[in-house]
Structure 1
């Protein structure tokens, strides 16, 4: 069967105490994440931009990010969570984004409370926040225009990234939850989990909490669960691993002059055929 019947992100969240999500930038990486056991895939704006050798700085259009997310979703049985940056503009843009992503079969999106155009959270540059009221209005717009009750909107605060502090992070997330957000994402680039734990100590669980432990990688999933986190996104490790592997592989081929020594270390062509479901396609032409 070539047709995929993916579960919605909302249903996956309801059936897991912690949903583990892997970052991806194309269908193949999404399929490998599903194969590894992840319950959802993050269509990462950082990874999608990097796959084009462009900065994650609102350079690509909504249509380009939508195409990437939709292509990933079509290949999976698990849901895609689309990283939609700031919603691609103002409230009108958010409404259009929800219509287009939902129409493409994406059941969850995430928006962050920075000004458009945004700069990647880990890069030097402007990390100015949109006002709480203005971002809450974006959330209200997103929820007002969705077609299905299954559609899931994650509100991401960059208060800790921008240096606004814990009080503002908590206040913003309360406001976003009260405006209809289905979950909040507390983002931190601190080298430890302490900022996030401090946030969780003050959170009243009115909606689930999402984390992205890029700079504090030693937080084990059992401890994440114990702390009350509902979703953990490993947002860019796949692309970083790909970069290392490709760099080493290409260098080895060039320096050796042939691929003999490399062949036992890399996937067989048959493995790629299996991921493509070549046999199922060939049956259609039999």
Structure 2
């Protein structure tokens, strides 16, 4: 079964799938080991990996290169965060073609102007496209995909931009009419009130996706009770966890004047060997190196 079909099957089999952000093959392997249903090829996480803000500074080529590396090391379906589609509808055509070929099972396109500013940045510029123009992007994405199971998800930033629920619902319905098969609704409120209100008001026939970064108290049990949210994306937890662990470890080494204390608190190198699949390499050496 292709990864595209696996994502569709997983969505059909369960009421809710859990998707972990990945910024490298290693983070993807750890997410798969933990039991996540799919991966989020995160623009934010890759930008952070490069030490850059999430403001359309990472190119499509850089993102695609990492996605290919991730797809080569995991069996999980990958939902690609392609921001605004890297331009207008013509850019979206090119992007969808390339992401599908690279191994993505879905793309999420957001209705901001290009270049974008990351959603949760305090005081960040949050400008949205005209509804009709974004509908053209969604139509272009749907028309371009080769596999009809490849999922096109429309993300509206109306709540992020402070335009309110009515505008968010209007945009979501328009994007559904343009062919989007799922709507990602995003909020920067510290509680889930906007998301829960939107979910209850949503009358469309396509399901919803959320990214509960700003409102972490919204757990799976509450989401399932809403009935129409099918995807929870943990959008920046991988890079934040990695940065937390590295910062603490590096500071301890400097403070201790060596690794004599931290070495017992981090993964042994043998577990890294396991993630690297070293045993298969050793078996290949024994079989083929003469």
* TM-score for the superposition, normalised by structure 2: 0.95
Q: 1:47 aligns with which of 39, 42, 45?
A: 45
Pairwise mapping of residues 137-176 of structure 1 onto structure 2 (< 5 A)?
Answer: 137-176=136-175
Q: Deviations over 1:218-274 (max 9, x none)?
A: 112111111121000111112111111101100111111121211211001110110
| Aligned counterpart, 2:113 | 115
| 8 Å CA contact retained: 2:173, 2:204 | no
Pairwise mapping of residues 92-131 of structure 1 onto structure 2 (< 5 A)?
Answer: 92-123=90-121, 124-131=123-130
> What is the aligned-residue RMSD (CA, Å)?
1.3
| Aligned counterpart, 1:282 | 282
Unaligned stretches of 5+ residues in structure 2: none
Q: How many residues align?
A: 283
Distance 1:5 1:275, change over 3 A: farther
- Displacement of 1:193 in angstroms is 0.6
* TM-score for the superposition, normalised by structure 1: 0.96
1:226 aligns with 2:225: yes
Consecutive aligned runs of 4 or more in structure 1 exceeding 4 Å deviation: none
Pairwise mapping of residues 134-283 of structure 1 onto structure 2 (< 5 A)?
Answer: 134-228=133-227, 229-283=229-283
Q: Deviations over 1:176-215 (max 9, x none)?
A: 1111111000000001111011111111241110001111
- Displacement of 1:5 in angstroms is 6.3
Q: 1:230 aligns to what SS in structure 2?
A: strand
- Displacement of 1:125 in angstroms is 2.5
| 8 Å CA contact retained: 1:9, 1:81 | no
- Displacement of 1:285 in angstroms is 2.5
